[in-house]
Chains A and B, each alone.
Chain A
């Protein structure tokens, strides 16, 4: 900024505008994050004091015969959790969004209903689904029997091979509203003239979608993917509500969030270990950071955005 004499002055109003946000963000986000990163390089002694231990916690996390399987197991489960969301939640979200933009009755109703689970508390979602799938009093089995599928019912939440896909699908059910609304707003942002012109030029419905709409919403697909990634690697509450901190059976539903919780806060007779917990948290941070960086460099920079 130049003053009357053409000299540069410090734009004081920037402080006023950015100040509060910077102070809050630093105090409540940056400081705890840095503190937690620092904590992961220390280890707790029996007398409650902390001693600098370099990378010892990380070495233990990756090599210890009890800790490493839990960490890699949680990472693997978390990746699976993420892929289910990418393969089910986002395509269905897109499908629902494209149905919502077509002309028809009751769109407002469906838009609201489909978005509703997202605003419900996870505790309620967990409770409802446990009841639905309950082998004793759940409605799932009787409803399956009505359509002749009764013999396929299983106590999915309790079986090691099914528990994780089941919890993942419940999470999909809950959060489907978010990609749906994002895709929906992207789709209604496409000017009608473009589509009309394409139709006049002889495009079929599917050509209109894949050649015109899809490229235009590609940036939104990127954003939805990265939001899903960050959300899934921070996920914890749904699994904790339904399966507890031990994420059973046999750790089959253990994801990074539950591993962190168990490590940091402890479980039943096991006392928590803050520095080891911070180590798990640091790994979660790094994994999310790498994921977001990959998105930014491999996707966001290459994708074409069109000015409409």
Chain B
């Protein structure tokens, strides 16, 4: 009996020693919506190839993520892999030494410069996160309503306005599901959605950073002018219509067109009982190049103080492969891999969004890189300002010219372009 017990104990010790060899990596993230996908699809695929590494996905609610992560990093209790927000929030973490330099990570060459631009130092020398996904802006429309009213999908700005007018005249549906109460919709789904066609995507965005273009220039004023013309086609009382209201208006089939982005795919496919279609931001005349906002949104970095840098790097390297790109983009339709791998998507809408990359020129939201460093204490924050003026322009309480002046004055106050 005693011998038996001893044997069992030895077996137990041996077993725990074996278990200790297995390294556990923890991923910090704000995407608590995705926990199922990580646990059931992504992590098992990785662990199958790397049986000695165990990965745990440990998300925090989005609104608390930045704060919680900061205190965890300061206290030295943060996970090994850290989901990185784009641009300054992550750059600050890198500058404080919390995120590791990943410039030399094998597989980094699978990403374009635009893809890496959100997780790179200003001088472009150090990359500190593996880009994961972007979201693409565009318009959703209700195919059933379009068929009923015999409408064609608009390509030019003039056609777009004609379609809106036709839906309004018919009177049964709200032409455009959008409100200005939350303000970010006016800026993100309005200004940054249709604007790239006016400021020619990257060309205009980089010119703003270089200081050769200003928000008072024609392309920006024109964008606000176009936004202002949307107001009559928005739901009544749009000034107090919020984001969930517009989502419901559209999925209930009460509204025909919804300006937004690819991240809505899963929700809309679940809730809408009609045929969904999408179209690109309208251009001046047929045949013009379409510029789409293909916004870099999420990446994964490595905690500089991780106990297992080699294993963490192994995981990050795996994330640069086509296997991860396919898995992730298919599990989360509407979030597209930023790598150059050719992947096939099962979701038709997601596929259509993705196909735009081949025919359109991609850019990102023009306020995200460098220009939103104003902390509002003597340096107005560009993103906040864009929210406010875009909403005010649609509400009719500010003219497009005033909006441009206000935003540029705020930027001039602190931003000195590098000469």
Contacts and interface: CB of A to CB of B under 8 A. Distances in A.
Contacts of B381: 267-270
A246 B384 contact: yes
Interface in A221-274: 243-244, 246, 248-251, 262-263, 265-271, 273
A64 B398 CA distance: 23
A249 B381 CA distance: 17
Main SS class of interface, A: loop
Contacts, number: 126
Contacts of A154: 237
Contact of A67 (B241, B376, B391): B376
A94 to B, nearest CB: 32
Interface string A128-169: 001001111100000000000000001111111000000000
B410 A158 contact: no
Interface in B93-137: 95-96
A287 to B, nearest CB: 20
B240 A158 contact: yes
Given A134-B245, A136-B235, A269-B87, A246 B377 contact: no
B242 A130 contact: yes
A268 B392 contact: no
B387 interface: yes
B88 interface: yes
Quick one: which of A156, A248, A262, A269 has the most chain B CB within 10 A? A269
Quick one: which of B87, B235, B367, B384 has the most chain A CB within 10 A? B384
Interface residues of A, number: 40
Nearest to B379: A66
Interface stretch (B175-183, B325-333, B340-348): B175-183
A60 interface: yes
B165 to A, nearest CB: 22
B377 A273 contact: yes
A48 interface: yes
Interface of A: 46-48, 60, 64-67, 70, 130, 133-137, 154-160, 243-244, 246, 248-251, 262-263, 265-271, 273, 276
Interface of B: 67, 87-89, 92, 95-96, 179-184, 235-242, 245, 249, 367-368, 372, 374-384, 387-388, 391-392, 395, 397-398, 410, 413
23 contacts: A47-B95, A60-B378, A64-B378, A66-B379, A130-B242, A133-B240, A134-B237, A135-B236, A135-B240, A154-B237, A155-B236, A157-B181, A158-B180, A158-B181, A160-B395, A248-B183, A249-B180, A249-B391, A249-B395, A267-B381, A269-B367, A269-B383, A271-B89
